[in-house]
Amino acid sequence: MASVDVSEAEAAGGLESEEPSLVGKLEDSVEIKSNAGDFHDVFSCRPHHISNVSPDNIQGCGMHEGDWGTPGSTIVWDYVHEGKKKFAKEIVEAIDHENYSTTFKVIEGDIMEYYKNFRLIVKATPKKDGEGSIVHWTLEYEKLHENIPDPTSLMEFTHAVSKDIDLHLQELLLLTGRMSDKWYGWAVAEPGILLRGTKNYI
């Protein structure tokens, strides 16, 4: 279950606690079967391929400024949330390859109609007791006003995308017996059979 943090002032019980805090943080995790490094590679370096494996949620991801896999670059997402087509322009604030973490800051789009600031952090951690990983999502935000709800539906959205990516990575591993250095976009299972995520996927 997702957890919501309130501001330090509100938690301390000062005068600020008399009014609802506009600043919040929502955290939740989802278990996946895939390797943490492979999952991290998707969001950190190849987000433009996610629409191929989660088309019901992500319809596209384009580079606005910079290069893939580079902090400071700006990307634009086209996605479907709550049955509506939406978009988000985000800055890739940080990529931590050692800890498998990527941070995005939303600067334009539908989300900004409700939040003054919005940041997403996705971190994959290998399981200690076996194969697979734990994907931890953190949504940090500041609402425009107190009547705006916490972004719980967006957290559910991140889980759905995470599970679609995990499913594809597992399919790739099953078909090839190994992960491709180029991830799924250029992987070939057998001569003439391209994997999902390529234009010639069958």
Distance CA 108, CA 113 (A): 9
CA-CA-CA-CA torsion sign (107, 111, 115, 119) = negative
Q: What's CA 117's distance to the chain center, in Å?
A: 17
- Counting residues of the chain whose pLDDT is more than 90, the rounded percentage is 72
The pLDDT score that the predictor gives to residue 98 is 97
pLDDT digits (tens, 9 = 90+) for 48-107: 999 999 999 999 999 999 999 999 999 999 999 999 999 999 999 999 999 999 999 999
Q: How far is CA 110 from CA 10, 118, 138, in A?
A: 28, 11, 19
**Residues whose CB is less than 8 angstroms from the CB of residue 87 and which lie 6 or more positions away in sequence, other chains included:** 76, 77, 78, 79, 109, 110
Distance CA 199, CA 202 (A): 9
pTM for the full predicted model:
0.80
All domains of the chain, ordered by start, with CATH?
A: 23-180 (3.30.530.20)
pLDDT digits (tens, 9 = 90+) for 136-148: 999 999 999 999 9
Nearest 5°: phi and psi at 163? Answer: -70, -35
